[in-house]
Structure 1
Amino acid sequence: MTLKVVGAGIGRTGTFSLKHALERLGFGPCHHMIEVLGNMAEQLPLWQSAVAGQPDWDRIYRGYHSAVDWPTARFYRELHTVYPDAKFILGYRSPQSWAESFSQTIYMALSKIGKAPAEQHDWLCMVTELITQNGIPPGLDVAGLEQAYIAHVEGVKGSIPPEQLLVFEAKDGWEPLCEFLDLPVPDEPYPRTNDRAEFWEHMKGGA
């Protein structure tokens, strides 16, 4: 199946809300890291291979019309080659607010692999390598995280043609997203989900 929309925004840039928004707009199902966490047996080996440089995009995205968040965001350059007609959405927030949120959620979870449930160990190792490849190795301070985030944003802007790219902040709601996708604006609030508390609930629940 050909992806129609690819999210180039990394985790903690409103990706879970964007997943719900895209599904509401008819681009579902939408792949998100939560799909990996909830279906380890099938998804994890595919992404381990992708991180090792041997992706099978057809199998990874079989059944999906769109994809956001990590692991997808790590591979935005490759996916632009594989899906040249797709539209790309770069979820954005200020570097400082992203670094603070990331350091208190994903980065914290990765720093405690040794204390994680055994069934999450291989997944967390894959995510650590994935994020390291994305320019965010373990051990960065907040200032270092901000610089890594800025580098990712600039990398996306420099790689994806402007006419195929929307830089999107969740606080802007439906209007810019629907204009970019050439769709009417739904008569309902834009999704707001996956704050820090909800993130840790997903981690505890394994889905």
Structure 2
Amino acid sequence: MPLDVIGAGLGRTGTMTLKTALEKLGFAPCHHMYEVIQHPEQAAFWEAAARGEPVDWEEVFAGYRASCDWPSCAFYKELAARYPAAKVVLTLRDPHAWYRSVCNTILPAMKGPIVLPDGSRAGPPGDFAALLIGEKTFGNDFSEEHMVAVFNRHNEEVKRRIPPERLLVFEAAQGWEPLCSFLGVPVPSEPFPLTNTTGEFKKRIEERQRQSAQGAA
């Protein structure tokens, strides 16, 4: 089954919201970092991809209809070439708000077990996250100036590389209408799913830390 939708936006740009929305629209399942956490056997594949080794995209995306978030957003060019009929969604947000969100969520979560949306805990997805996000994407420079520059450069590259008729530049606050129009599907009657806010993510991290401390006592 080929991918129908490719998310090119970096993590913390509304990618969990996009995943949830796409799945409600019938593009399910949608691959996301949480898929790797829940299926740790995928980590070896993504580590190989991060190292530039040849990989078979059909292997990791078997059964999926869409993708977004890290790790797949780092390979949007390869995926767009492999699935030429797929549409591409570039999720955006204010660059400095994005930086603060990453610092409060992804970077701390890379250092230990990750708390899933349902509150359960899972082990880290492996060295590939530090390799792909920390080293390959940001060069292990987590200063605001550098990360915002990388963020902006990535977004501009997506806009240059993907033909406009194939690309939707999207912010979660826009809701259902532009996404449904782009994908050619009806607008649902239910509210647009705004999920996985920084506050929610931080709360889960804090709860994980408390549980870890209690377990070590």
**TM-score of the aligned structures, taking structure 2 as reference length:** 0.85
CA contact (8 A) 1:8 1:76 kept: yes
Please report the RMSD computed on the Cα atoms of aligned residues, expressed in angstroms.
2.0
Residue matched to 1:49: 48
* Per-residue CA distance 1:83-142 (angstroms, 9 max, x = gap): 1110000000011111111111112333xx3xx25x845x35211211246532223211
Q: Secondary structure of 2:93's partner?
A: coil
Separation of aligned partners in 2, 1:77 and 1:10: 13
Structure 1 residues without counterparts, runs of 5 or longer: none
Task: State how far apart, in whole Å, the 1-side matches of 2:147 and 2:98 are.
Answer: 9
SS in 2 for 1:190: coil
Question: Is the alpha carbon distance of 1:97 and 1:166 closer, same or farther for their aligned partners in structure 2, counting shifts above 3 Å?
Answer: same
Mapped contact 1:5–1:89 kept (Cα < 8 A): yes
The aligned residue for residue 192 of structure 2 is 190
More moved, 96-105 vs 172-181: 96-105
SS at match of 1:167: strand
Letter in 2 for 1:66: A
Q: CA deviation at 1:198?
A: 3.1
For 2:135 and 2:79, locate their aligned partners in 1 and report how far apart those are by CA, in whole Å: 16
Q: 2:85: which partner in 1?
A: 85
CA 1:82–1:133 in structure 2 vs 1: closer, same or farther (change >3 Å)? farther
The farther-off stretch of 188-197 and 73-82 is 188-197
Residues 3 and 65 in structure 2, CA contact (< 8 A), matched pair in contact too: yes
1:74 maps to 2:74: yes
2:187 and 2:205 map into 1 onto residues whose CA distance is 29
Partners of 1:7 and 1:91 within 8 A in 2 = yes
Q: Provide the rounded CA distance (Å) in 2 between the counterparts of 1:160 and 1:176.
A: 18
Contact 1:50-1:56 within 8 A present in 2 as well = no
Equivalenced residues, count: 198
Please state whether the residue corresponding to 2:168 is helix, strand or coil: strand
Distance 2:63 2:17 in 1: 20
CA distance in 1, matches of 2:145, 2:104: 14
Partner of 1:128, secondary structure, is helix
TM superposition score normalised by structure 1: 0.89
Identity %: 45
- 1:71–1:202 distance in 2 versus 1, CA, 3 Å: farther
Secondary structure of the structure 2 residue equivalent to 1:175: helix
Distance 1:176 1:57 in 2: 28
Give distance in 2, aligned partners of 1:183 and 1:12. 25
Partner residue in 1 for 2:100: 100
Q: Which runs of 5+ in 2 are unaligned?
A: 114-121, 210-217
Matched residue, 2:169: 167
